Amino acid sequence: MTDQGTFIGQIFVIALIVVVAIFVLVVLVRAIRIVPQATAGVVERLGRYHKTLTPGLNVLVPFIDRMRPLIDMREQVVSFPPQPVITEDNLVVSIDTVVYFQVTDARAATYEIANYLGAVEQLTTTTLRNVVGGLNLEEALTSRDNINSQLRIVLDEATGKWGIRVGRVELKAIDPPASIQDSMEKQMRAERDRRAQILMAEGTKQAAILEAEGSRQSAILTAEGEAKAAVLRAQADSEAQALRAQGESQAITTVFEAIHRGEPDQMLLAYQYLQTLPKLAEGDANKLWVIPSELTEALKGIGGAFGARGGAPTP
> What confidence tens digit (pLDDT) does each residue in 25-59 have?
887 777 888 899 999 999 999 889 999 998 998 98
Exposed/middle/buried for residue 220 (C-beta within 10 Å: 0-12, 13-18, 19+): exposed
Would you state the pLDDT for residue 108?
92
Closest CA to 31 of 43, 18, 19, 14: 43
List pLDDT tens digits, range 195-224.
888 988 888 888 888 888 888 888 888 888
Report the range out of 22-26, 97-101, 227-231, 279-283 with the highest average pLDDT: 97-101
pLDDT category, 73, cuts 50, 70, 90?
Answer: very high
Which of 138-142, 168-172, 302-306 has the least mean pLDDT? 302-306
Q: CA 181, CA 174: separation in Å to the nearest integer?
A: 11
Reading phi first (left if > 0) and then psi (alpha if -120 to 50, else beta), residue 46 is in left
Who has greater pLDDT, 2 or 67? 67
Where in the chain is CATH 3.30.479.30? 74-176
**Number of residues in the chain:** 315
Closest CA to 30 of 75, 3, 81, 67: 67
Who has greater pLDDT, 314 or 203? 203
First to last CA, the chain: 217
**pTM exceeds 0.85, yes or no:** no
Q: CA 92, CA 137: separation in Å to the nearest integer?
A: 9
Helix axes 144-159, 116-133, angle to 10 degrees: 140
Exposed/middle/buried for residue 243 (C-beta within 10 Å: 0-12, 13-18, 19+): exposed
List pLDDT tens digits, range 254-298.
766 766 666 666 666 666 656 665 665 565 555 555 555 555 665
Q: Where are the alpha helices (DSSP H) in the chain?
A: 2-31, 106-111, 116-133, 137-142, 144-159, 178-262, 266-280, 293-311
Amino acid identity of residue 127, one-letter, is T
Give the residue-averaged pLDDT of 89-114: 90
Who has greater pLDDT, 6 or 309? 6
Q: CA 255, CA 264: separation in Å to the nearest integer?
A: 12
For the 74-176 domain, the top CATH level (class) is alpha beta
Helix (H, G, I), strand (E, B) or coil at 165: strand
**What contacts 24+ positions apart, CB below 8 Å, involve 46-50?**
49/107, 49/111
Residue 315 pLDDT exceeds 50:
no
Closest CA to 134 of 85, 183, 80: 85
